[in-house]
A and B are shown apart, each in its own frame.
Chain A
Amino acid sequence: MNLLRTSLIRDLLTDVFLNLFRKRMRALLTMTGVIIGSFLVVLIFSLSNGLSVFLDQQIRAVWDENMIKVRLEKGGAPEKMAKGMFGGLGEPPQEVTEENKEEIPGAFEFRHIPHESIQKLKNIDGVQEVQPEIWVMPRSMQVVGDDRQFDAIVRPWIMAGPDMLAYGQDFSTSAARECIVSEAYLVALGYSNPTQLLGQTLKIRIQEDAYIAMAGGGQMDLKFLDKLRDVAYLFQNPPEDPELTMISAFIMLRDLANSSEIKALTTEPGAAKVFEAKVVGISKKGLLTNMIYLPPDLIAEMGRVFLRNPDMYTKGKDGKFGIEGLVRVSDPKEIPRIKREIKKLGMKSTTLEDVVGFIHGLFGALSAILTVFVMIAGVVAFFSIVNTLFMAVSERKREIGVLQAIGATRGYVAAMFAAEAGAIGLMGGLIGYLLGTVLCIVGNIYAAQGLPYIPGGNWGNILGVSDLFVTPWWVLPLMILATAFVGAFAGVLPAKRAAQLDPAEALRYE
């Protein structure tokens, strides 16, 4: 019985394709809506997924899944300052209270994380190490023995983490004069093999930036101006006792001279300091092509030169940790608990999941909007199939009568038209999928080879780690189901009409 039923279904499908082939141009035109719809689905989801994966990888280049960024709840939030500076950013003006008075742009003050808090962070169970977040822009990098100099950005290796290591190994110690450089430097240096770069020594030139030193010697900490004002006040309103004036002036001027800002201004400017570091590893390619990752001690040393501030990233009485800290945890699964403990210490934390989740959400929303357009194409395709099938039923009325006369049941007639509609949907879906896939492949080839019309653009360097179009695995099954369903659903009414034809009347139809 099953065998017979299988043969009936096979025969029905053969008939369906024969019938579609009879009016192939019409069938193809009817499919157009489905083809366009499924083509767009493939393109949209592949591009959105590809970009999402791509950005995900780029973020991972500076954000290891084991890393949490922390800063103080108060005085550590640049976005709050930005909100004030750009006029509230859509929110109504906030009331100044005792709680938030230091967060108001006019009173905003960056605060370094106190060393006691760093110690408390280190004491949290599961925390491996805490380092300051340091961003150094060297004047240049150069391979010893090579005259050419290249631009670079220096970041702590803790941010990228072991997943980003393509070749070589991690640093030997935290105090090592070693570095891990981006794979893109192989292209820039004209090396074909990573071993040509591994083991070489780099010269990294750091030159303090006058503006950064002024404004950011203590990272926007302009308290030295208060001290200057106190000195001015002393001379404008001197005490009667000249000796007291002298002593007061001496103390105040000594404080002023010892402030990190004045110290920064008085160090010898101009000459760049050269740091040497041996290349021990090569990191995966990414959007940030000029990355050099360093161990904590070396980058802190560079940071002090870069900011012209000998107190930065140091302990001791005047030592400043920095406004952001990088916490490395032993197990990412522990992150929720560690985040809660960080919050108890009066600090805010951001994880890879927070950032990646935001980006995925953004692409999800974009895909949802574009899906609406695809659904409109689907509705158009639906009505196009309904129309075609009604025409077919009308044209083949006598044929339906003949089939009924020689023994076709109503169910068979209905199934024949529903299957024709489903086949139009399914074939349209598959053709659209194929076209979309071909375009994705061509797009990926172009993206990998570089786009000649973008001056100087070589996407190959950037996209080395991922394709621009990555079709999610579920698109094909979704397409098969959705297009067959749209088709078959569109065929319901015409099939019903065909099945209800009176055979005697259908045979009389001219």
Chain B
Amino acid sequence: MAAIEAEELTRIFQVGGEEVRALDGLTVSLERGSLAAVVGPSGSGKSTLMALLGGLDTPSSGSVSVYDQKLNGMAPVDLAAYRRSTVGFVFQDFFLLSHLTAIENVEVPLKLAQVSRSERRDRANELIELVGLGHRGEHRPQQLSGGERQRVAIARALANRPKLLLADEPTGNLDEKTGMAITEILLNLNKDRDITVLLVTHNPELAKQTEIQFHLGGGKLQKTICS
């Protein structure tokens, strides 16, 4: 059963009156429960692919389905529901809300999913424990280290029990040791919770630990390595 099916995916941007093909007829598929990485040089279309898979952007042509949900032509409100229920994001820059505590940050997606106050507090506590930050739950992002922030971001991404986790350079802003710890969390999530994990990374060490690596170049799939 496929978690991701993208066919002839093309995304064209207009930059200064010129067409830029960020993705150019890309076709990929990924089985449910897989752990995969997207690698490639800057400008190869990695982040664009993530945005399209995550329903943050829509393709210029081609089609994309995630867990049997066809994202092309989906109404904005349905795309929002898709992002809320099916997919979780982890960003390189963490993107936590600075005025909220770690727990409150994890609660935001639950709030948007209209989960009751008591239930979301329980679930947020549980997730904060899961990422090993039980003692730091009441701290604000600026009081946390980079690694801790990324753990909070992972906990937030898991809040609504997504089927697919998209992590865009999750270790990009972290030192090697912290990066390894984060990598371990992500790998465990895939193993223990049966979540399909797709990583975008420049880090060959991180990529090596995944089952499948999609190598992108010039908006096209150059090669697929299964290990």
Residues of A within 8 A of B (CB): 4-5, 7-8, 11, 18-19, 22, 398-399, 401-412, 502-504, 507
Whether B108 lies near A406 (C-beta < 8 A) is: yes
- Report B90 CB to chain A, min CB distance, Å: 10
Whether A402 lies near B95 (C-beta < 8 A) is: yes
- Note all chain B residues with C-beta closer than 8 A to A5: 114
A11 to chain B: closest residue by CB = B111
- Note all chain A residues with C-beta closer than 8 A to B159: 406
A399 to chain B: closest residue by CB = B97
Asked if A402 meets B97 with Cβ closer than 8 Å, knowing A407-B84, A409-B80, the reply is yes
- Note all chain A residues with C-beta closer than 8 A to B56: 404-405, 503-504, 507
Produce 1/0 per residue, B73-110, CB < 8 A to A: 00011001101110001010001010110000000110
Whether B89 lies near A405 (C-beta < 8 A) is: yes
Tell yes or no: B113 within 8 A of A by CB: yes
Whether A407 lies near B112 (C-beta < 8 A) is: yes
- Report A469 CB to chain B, min CB distance, Å: 41
- Report A168 CB to chain B, min CB distance, Å: 66
**B91: contacting residue among A411, A503, A507, CB under 8 A:** A507
Asked if A406 meets B89 with Cβ closer than 8 Å, knowing A7-B114, A399-B97, the reply is yes
Nearest 10 Cβ contacts at the A-B interface: A407-B84, A409-B80, A406-B109, A4-B114, A504-B57, A504-B56, A504-B51, A503-B56, A402-B95, A407-B112
Tell yes or no: B117 within 8 A of A by CB: yes
Whether B81 lies near A407 (C-beta < 8 A) is: yes
- Note all chain B residues with C-beta closer than 8 A to A399: 97
Instruction: Count chain B residues whose beta carbon lies closer than 8 angstroms to a beta carbon of A.
Output: 29
Tell yes or no: B45 within 8 A of A by CB: no
**B80: contacting residue among A19, A410, A504, A507, CB under 8 A:** A410
Tell yes or no: B156 within 8 A of A by CB: yes
Whether B99 lies near A407 (C-beta < 8 A) is: no
Segment 143-157 of B: residues with Cβ below 8 Å from A: 156-157
A sample of 6 inter-chain contacts (CB < 8 A) reads A11-B111, A402-B97, A404-B56, A405-B89, A410-B76, A504-B51
Asked if A8 meets B95 with Cβ closer than 8 Å, knowing A405-B83, A407-B83, the reply is no
- Note all chain B residues with C-beta closer than 8 A to A409: 76-77, 80-81
Whether A407 lies near B80 (C-beta < 8 A) is: yes
B114 to chain A: closest residue by CB = A4
Known pairs A398-B95, A399-B97, A406-B159; list 11 more (Cβ under 8 Å): A7-B117, A19-B99, A404-B83, A405-B83, A406-B83, A407-B80, A409-B76, A409-B77, A410-B77, A503-B56, A504-B51
Q: How far is the CA of A151 from the CA of B165 in the complex (A)?
A: 95
Tell yes or no: B116 within 8 A of A by CB: yes
Whether A411 lies near B77 (C-beta < 8 A) is: yes
- Report A409 CB to chain B, min CB distance, Å: 4
- Note all chain A residues with C-beta closer than 8 A to B40: none
Whether B114 lies near A8 (C-beta < 8 A) is: yes
- Report B138 CB to chain A, min CB distance, Å: 15
Q: How far is the CA of A409 from the CA of B157 in the complex (A)?
A: 17
- Report B132 CB to chain A, min CB distance, Å: 21
Tell yes or no: B54 within 8 A of A by CB: yes
B78 to chain A: closest residue by CB = A409
Tell yes or no: B213 within 8 A of A by CB: no
Q: How far is the CA of A8 from the CA of B113 in the complex (A)?
A: 9
- Point out which of A18, A405, A412 has the most chain B C-beta atoms below 10 A from its C-beta: A405
- Point out which of B51, B116, B117, B156 has the most chain A C-beta atoms below 10 A from its C-beta: B51
Tell yes or no: B10 within 8 A of A by CB: no
Tell yes or no: B196 within 8 A of A by CB: no
- Report A439 CB to chain B, min CB distance, Å: 35
Q: How far is the CA of A410 from the CA of B56 in the complex (A)?
A: 12
A10 to chain B: closest residue by CB = B117
Tell yes or no: B160 within 8 A of A by CB: yes
B168 to chain A: closest residue by CB = A507
- Report A413 CB to chain B, min CB distance, Å: 10
Q: How far is the CA of A173 from the CA of B100 in the complex (A)?
A: 83
Q: How far is the CA of A398 from the CA of B113 in the complex (A)?
A: 20
- Note all chain B residues with C-beta closer than 8 A to A504: 51, 56-57
Q: How far is the CA of A399 from the CA of B98 in the complex (A)?
A: 9
- Report A470 CB to chain B, min CB distance, Å: 44
- Note all chain B residues with C-beta closer than 8 A to A410: 76-77, 80
Q: How far is the CA of A399 from the CA of B100 in the complex (A)?
A: 12
Whether B116 lies near A7 (C-beta < 8 A) is: yes
- Note all chain A residues with C-beta closer than 8 A to B95: 398, 401-402, 405, 507
